Structure 1
Amino acid sequence: MRDMMIAILQGAGGLRESEPFHLYLDDVREDPRSPGSALVRIHHPSEGKYRTFNPIDRKWHVISREEFLRAQGLCPRHKSGSKHLFAGWKDPLLVREKSGDFYLEVQWFPTWWGKVFWGLYRSYVSDVRPPTSSPFLFVTHEGRGAGSPYKIKQYNKKLARAVKSVGIKPVKETGGTSHGLRHHYGQILTDADVPQAVIQKAMHHKSPESTAIYTRPDADKVNRILNHAVSRQERIELPILAGA
């Protein structure tokens, strides 16, 4: 269920490989604009804000995520010295609120994936995720490391195993890799004739040139389009030739 959720965030939400691994448990909530659907926000892993209750003065305080993690003996994953726990951060286009918070918001496509994710999230939190003090949503479930932040390497191994089981090669071109899922998201938005500027926002790119890489058709798609164009042209021309 955990790995399904990560794959959905990438293939139906367009997230980069590392971004789901910065999510906190309470960074997902029901979308007030679409009841029954998930609202997912990935905050800047160190500068993003976090609201925490101080039992000493019995007040709520807003501090940076780095400060919050430091108080627990942790550090943001993009600053981790452990290659196993490291999760990168590629300076995406972020929403910047007046409060000083920074985050990107997942844009589901098709939108019904938000409802699927919300159902999985609720089941995961109540029935699957092990008891742990870790603030991170995705954690290891078994063994000595149970409850610790989930590793990207482990997710990629499980993703490769899953796509192989349904006869798909685990390569980017098939959408069968972590990065391939993000490319798939860009392509389905393009195929749906979503304007390039909207795709740029949905994929959280600061530059339109970056978006072009994800919306450019691959060789197989170009071949299919050209063959379809030839067939359409033949249907137009053949009646003319027959009557000549």
Structure 2
Amino acid sequence: MAYTLKRRVSYKASAASLSHNLPAIFTKSGLLISHLRYLYSNRGKSPSWMERNTFAVELLLKFIERQVSNFSSATELLRAFVEALQFGTIQDGQDSSGLFWSTRRNEDVNVLLHHITDYCDYLDTVYGTDLPKLNPLRKATHAEERLQWCAYYRRHSRSFLNHLANPSRQQFSVVRMIRGPERHLVDIEAVYRFPENRIEDLLLHGFVFPSGEPDYASQLIVMLMHFGGLRLSECFHIYVHDVHLDQKSGSALISVFHPSDGQSPDERFCKRNEYLATKYRLNPRNEYSRSHRLYAGWKGPLLTNRNLSFDVMFYPASKAVEFTLVLQKYLATKPSSESPFLFVNSKGNPESKKNFYQKHNRAVRRIGLEPSKSLGTTPHAHRHSYGYRLSQGGFSQLEIQKAMHHKSPESCLVYLKPSDDEVRRQMRDTH
């Protein structure tokens, strides 16, 4: 019986290389070794990218198992696969394929198709041209070529190193035979922000232990997000060594380093991945699988220091002093830990995202609110509040980009544009 299974395996490219924990696909014929080698060649990418790529290949294999005899060419099979993703496989309550797939969003279909195409290009490169091409190139029409040039210039106009790019006309003269559905252009109305008038309640009355003692660690994490603009995952990459004190003002000075390539706090080691592995037998937290309790993502923020870090900018600036006061209380009661991370749980182990989410939900309910993205009461809403507060404070687009560590100045536009309600209010006021 045909089957497709995903399991995690330890993979070494050679006897001298390091082992890597990667997702692997097994079929009735055994391990799909070509895909495992493909993931290894992309080992610098995030765990979520690897999981999504593996999922895409799994779906294609399942489709092939059910459909391969119905198509005369690999390209036609891929076309049918894309249609099955987009429209589903169920019609009138029946599904002759036995897949029972529901419809998917156009954006999701395009991401899955991109993963499949990239893997197939890898197979062409490694194994030559004897294999049937799933998604070959064809000559682009004049309109398609023009659109590709427009897209290229739009992307590179926002790149810091755009002067180094040297595109050739040939690369835009071809397109893929199988293309995904058209993406919809959506103007998202607004981001959801944590209610500014309830943040002090959350900090003072929300984060308390059952004993009644304050949960200083959670208070600090919220302050880093709400008044420092950090993403939640970035908080979990901070070491105790990364926090310093401005002796004149009493303000906390906090640097967030690249989890693996950032400068080590111990000069005996070059980078943080070496420091973690040698001293603590830990990996950088973004290199664990998403299901691991130590996993914390890394969105690739704009690094502004040569040691591959960026500095937290508190707004209002007075919050940096308040952060110091809470930090002193936290460090005085912090459980002893065998890791360098600033935030640990009651057992001294590095704090996890899952555990903090639960704490945040309880804290929100404790002050009479409900945890909900649409209400702005989830952890990421604090970063949105930070960006909106900067825009209301008169900061320019480039200044907000710098404070929020975005690589593109366009990423912070969502904090500058008015919401639908604000536009309607202005229409009423000017009538």
TM-score by length of 1: 0.81
Structure 2 residues not aligned, in runs of 5+: 1-215
For residue 125 of structure 1, report the CA deviation from its aligned partner: 0.8
For residue 167 of structure 1, report the CA deviation from its aligned partner: 2.8
After superposing the two structures, state which structure 1 stretch, 151-160 or 168-177, moved more.
168-177
For residue 163 of structure 1, report the CA deviation from its aligned partner: 1.8
For residue 51 of structure 1, report the CA deviation from its aligned partner: 3.0
For residue 88 of structure 1, report the CA deviation from its aligned partner: 0.4
- Contact 1:38–1:117 at 8 Å: present in 2 too? yes
SS at match of 1:18: helix
Identity %: 39
For residue 62 of structure 1, report the CA deviation from its aligned partner: 4.6
Partner of 1:67: 274
- Contact 1:170–1:176 at 8 Å: present in 2 too? yes
Q: How does 1:66-145 map to 2 (within 5 A)?
A: 66-71=273-278, 72-81=280-289, 82-97=291-306, 101-127=307-333, 129-141=334-346
1:193 aligns with 2:402: no
- Contact 1:187–1:217 at 8 Å: present in 2 too? no
Partner of 2:233: 18
Amino acid at match of 1:90: K
Deviation by residue 1:29-81 (Cα, 9 ceiling, x = unmatched):
1125x5211001110000001132xxxxxxx5352100000012111000013
| Inter-partner Cα distance in structure 1 for 2:271 and 2:312 | 21
For residue 87 of structure 1, report the CA deviation from its aligned partner: 0.3
Q: How does 1:1-244 map to 2 (within 5 A)?
A: 1-31=216-246, 35-52=249-266, 60-71=267-278, 72-81=280-289, 82-97=291-306, 101-127=307-333, 129-141=334-346, 146-223=347-424, 225-226=425-426, 230-231=428-429, 233=430
SS at match of 1:50: coil
SS at match of 1:61: coil
Q: Computing the radius of gyration over CA atoms, which structure comes out larger, 1 or 2?
A: 2
Q: Summarize the Cα distance change of 1:161–1:216 in structure 2 as closer, same or farther, 3 Å threshold.
A: farther
Give the count of matched residue pairs. 214
Structure 1 residues not aligned, in runs of 5+: 53-59, 235-244
Q: Which of structures 1 and 2 has the larger relative contact order (alpha carbons within 8 angstroms, sep 6+)?
A: 1
SS at match of 2:250: coil
Amino acid at match of 2:270: I
Deviation by residue 1:94-149 (Cα, 9 ceiling, x = unmatched):
0131xxx101111101111101111111111112x1011210000111xxxx1111
Query: Which aligned runs of 4 or more in structure 1 are off by greater than 6 angstroms?
Result: none
TM-score by length of 2: 0.47
Over the aligned positions, Cα root-mean-square deviation in angstroms equals 1.8
SS at match of 2:274: helix
Deviation by residue 1:205-242 (Cα, 9 ceiling, x = unmatched):
0001211134334344445x42xx645x57xxxxxxxx
